[in-house]
Structure 1
Amino acid sequence: MIFYGTGIGLVTGLLGAGGGFLLIPALVLLLHLPMKEAVGTSLLIIALNSLIGFTGNLHDKGMDWQLLLTVTALAVAGILLGSYLNKKIPAGKLKKAFGWFVLVMGIYILVREIAGMPD
């Protein structure tokens, strides 16, 4: 697990991309975790990373609290919707949808890089 985590961290750090797109397949394919548990684990890691980043910037006087509260409210709404949909969507369909999402995002990023579009 240490090898997988280090590898994912290295690749995502070099690419500047979020680790979820690599972490979920690694958890499913290499560690044989069910898809829903892999997604939950990835989201927990993202939440912890966000919390650590937030606490590091708490003393920043330029923090946009209105934006923070808006994003938090939207995230809570997303959590509630996701919890509801989790009960309705079979894991196999979720796995397929995630694969298509990663493919589309990969193509999008590749096109932007080739076209030289700014971030």
Structure 2
Amino acid sequence: MSAVILALLAGAVVGLSLGALGGGGSVLAVPALIYLLGFTPVAATTAGLVIVGVTSATALSAHARDGHVRWRTGLLFAAAGIGPALLGGALAGRLPAPVLTAAFAVVAAAASARMLRPRRRTESTAPVRPGRAAAAGAGLGALTGVLGVGGGFLAVPALVDVLGLRMRAAVGTSLLVITVNSLAALAMRAGTADGLDGAVMGPFAGAAILGAWDGRRLSARLSGRTLQRAFAFALLAVAGFMLVDAVVR
């Protein structure tokens, strides 16, 4: 199967995840870029930021029109992560590939376990606590910078559990967080952009953008919990594969 076809298929899956769940794009894109398209771990994490950043920004507009974006909360959350994302992006290029792969797998496994836990269904009416939002945003920004993930698969649980948003609002708001964090992390990764293949990234990003629109429609038909559980099991399988690969290298 040609690289372009693989990129289109992988991009469609990434877009569906982002559109339906507000996250999971990078955590699926990075393994696809490494194992299907032959990118190095460093190049894959950089390419993942580009693809997911563009896709998230596109999907954000649709969720905003539906009224599912909490702008003040999202900007406060994202702003706290900009500094850590910049530092993490500078650190990422210095880590050995097996370490980067293993760290990615561990975070993905932890996120999948977190997503399988039952959550509160009510939205808090209390004002967002700046300290809690800043702490959660800073931790997410650091992971974004080091691992090349937009952070939506961690942002959505944080927005629901820590800040009390409903699932659909958390999905839309997470796209804002992903876009900001991806741009910040990319600012420190200019030196890792040389190994990126535009002939693969273009179709990948295009399919992801189209998939995100379908994902948004899918989220309106299925419950957020059903989508979350399906994604969590897929994420757990990816994490296990990557961890084994990192250990045997």
Shared topology, TM-score over 0.5?
Answer: yes
CA positional deviation for 1:48: 2.2
- Please give the alpha-carbon distance, in whole angstroms, between the structure 2 residues aligned to 1:86 and 1:2: 27
What corresponds to 2:119 in structure 1?
Answer: 117
- Please give the alpha-carbon distance, in whole angstroms, between the structure 2 residues aligned to 1:9 and 1:47: 11
Ranked by relative contact order (alpha carbons within 8 Å, sequence separation 6 or more), the top structure is 2
Q: Find 2:98's aligned residue among 86, 92, 100.
A: 92
CA positional deviation for 1:5: 1.3
What do residues 82-112 of structure 1 show as CA deviations (whole Å, max 9, x unaligned)?
23312431121000110111111111212x1
Q: 1:102 to 1:47 in 2, by over 3 A?
A: same
Give runs of aligned pairs for residues 5-20 of structure 1, distance below 5 A. 5-10=11-16, 12=17, 16=21, 17-20=23-26
Give runs of aligned pairs for residues 1-119 of structure 1, distance below 5 A. 1-10=7-16, 12=17, 16=21, 17-52=23-58, 53=60, 63-64=71-72, 68=75, 70-71=76-77, 73-110=79-116, 112=117, 116-118=118-120, 119=160
CA positional deviation for 1:15: 6.0
- Please give the alpha-carbon distance, in whole angstroms, between the structure 1 residues aligned to 2:83 and 2:104: 20
Q: Give the count of matched residue pairs.
A: 110
TM-score, scaled relative to structure 2: 0.37
**Unpaired segments ≥5 residues, structure 2:** 1-6, 121-159, 161-249
CA RMSD of aligned residues (A): 3.2
CA positional deviation for 1:78: 2.5
- Please give the alpha-carbon distance, in whole angstroms, between the structure 2 residues aligned to 1:30 and 1:48: 21
CA positional deviation for 1:18: 2.4
Partner SS, residue 88 of structure 1: coil
CA positional deviation for 1:42: 1.4
Q: 1:37 to 1:78 in 2, by over 3 A?
A: same
- Please give the alpha-carbon distance, in whole angstroms, between the structure 1 residues aligned to 2:57 and 2:19: 22
**Unpaired segments ≥5 residues, structure 1:** none
TM-score, scaled relative to structure 1: 0.69
What do residues 61-95 of structure 1 show as CA deviations (whole Å, max 9, x unaligned)?
x853x962x45543431232023312431121000
What corresponds to 2:176 in structure 1?
Answer: none
